[in-house]
Amino acid sequence: MTDFNYDQTRHLKKLIPAEEITAIDNWIKKYPPERKRPPIIAALKVVQDHNGNYLTEEMMQAVAEYLDVPHVAVYEVATFYSMFHLDKVGRHVISVCNNISCSLRGADKVIEHLQNRLNIKVGETTEDGLYTIKTVECMAACGGAPMLEVDKVYHENLTEEKIDQILSDIAAVELTQNSSSKQHENDADSSNEFSGEAQD
């Protein structure tokens, strides 16, 4: 067991906002005080979401300190589960199952089509920072092989047409979000100009 120092918990509080600390605390409260490891997954998920979908060494150390567990315990979880990323990834991580069931039903063709469409290889990220392709082991959806997961949604029984539609849907969402952001910026600029004119 690690030597606990209350001051260590302040490290994580410097990295993420108070409401996310509260979310982690709520998970901690679900378990008896002596069971310190069960909240690791939830804590890493909160921290990763805050950091743009990947974990840094500093963040993993801070989580270990906050939960009062050995750093190696946090590192083991972060490297075992495919939902955690230790390197910077795209905004949309496309995880293709390449276990035996999916492989037998065309996972290689799914990967090849994605690579051709996005012009990247497995493990790479597009230049615009939108997409990363990765392969993962079984995601417990063998009945729908071949399959992939992106943005927390499973897509099963994939064909090239389905893959194209998935990418088109993501692009449409990105376009809507970008348009909304630009509109907010324009509204803010207009408001500032109006305030300046009023003061004059």
Judged by DSSP in three states, 97 sits in strand
**Cα separation of the two ends of the chain:** 65
70 falls within a domain: yes
Binding-site positions read: 97, 102, 138, 142
Domain boundary among 26, 55, 80: 80
Same domain, 137 and 62: no
Per-residue pLDDT tens digits for 82-119: 889 999 999 999 999 999 999 999 999 999 999 999 99
**138: pLDDT confidence band, cut at 50, 70 and 90?**
confident
- The burial class, CB within 10 Å (0-12 / 13-18 / 19+), for 83 is middle
| pLDDT tens-digit readout, 156-178 | 999 999 999 999 999 999 998 87
User: 42 and 21, same structural domain?
Assistant: yes
Residues 99 and 73 in one domain: no
65 with 137, same domain: the answer is: no
**Is 63 in contact with 41 (CB distance < 8 Å)?**
no
Query: Residue 13: is its pLDDT beyond 80?
Result: yes
Rounded alpha-carbon distances, angstroms, from residue 15 to 8, 50, 60, 61, 140: 12, 9, 11, 11, 34
Q: How many domains does the chain have?
A: 2
Claim to verify: residue 21 and residue 102 sit in the same structural domain: no
Going by pLDDT thresholds of 50, 70 and 90, the confidence category of residue 70 is very high
- Minimum mean pLDDT range among 3-12, 77-86, 138-147: 3-12
Q: Are residue 155 and residue 96 in the same domain, yes or no?
A: yes
DSSP 16: S
Domain contains 85:
no
Whole-structure pTM value: 0.74
Q: Domain for residue 122, yes or no?
A: yes
What is the pLDDT at residue 5? Answer: 46
Q: Tell me how far apart the alpha carbons of residues 173 and 189 are, in angstroms, rounded to a whole number.
A: 24
Main-chain dihedrals φ then ψ at residue 125, nearest 5 degrees: -125, 140
Between 158 and 140, name the one with better pLDDT: 158
At residue 65, does pLDDT exceed 70?
yes
Instruction: State which of 80, 109, 136 marks the end of a domain.
Output: 80
Which distant-in-sequence residues (6+ apart) come within 8 Å of 157 by Cβ?
144, 145, 146, 147
The answer to whether residues 99 and 147 touch, using CB atoms and an 8 Å cutoff, is no
Q: Within this chain, do residues 10 and 54 fall inside the same structural domain, yes or no?
A: yes
Residue 172, both tokens: 């449409």
Judge if 183 and 96 occupy the same domain. yes
* Average of per-residue pLDDT values in the chain: 89
Does any domain span residue 66?
yes
Which letter, b or e, does each residue of 24-61 get, where b requires 16 or more Cβ atoms within 10 Å of its Cβ?
beebbeeeeeeebeebbbebbbbbbeebebbbeeebbb
Q: 30-62, pLDDT tens digit by residue?
A: 999 999 999 999 999 999 999 989 999 999 999
For residues 74 and 125, state if they share a domain. no
Domain ranges, residue 169: 92-187
Q: 12 falls in which pLDDT band (50, 70, 90)?
A: very high
- In terms of domains, do 96 and 183 share one? yes
CATH code, domain with 111:
3.40.30.10
Same domain, residue pair 132 and 175: yes
Higher pLDDT, 97 or 198: 97
Q: Does residue 105 sit in the same domain as residue 152?
A: yes
Instruction: Identify any residues that bridge with 92 across adjacent strands, giving them in sequence order.
Output: 131
Annotated binding-site positions for [2Fe-2S] cluster:
97, 102, 138, 142
Give the whole-number percent of the chain exceeding pLDDT 90. Answer: 76
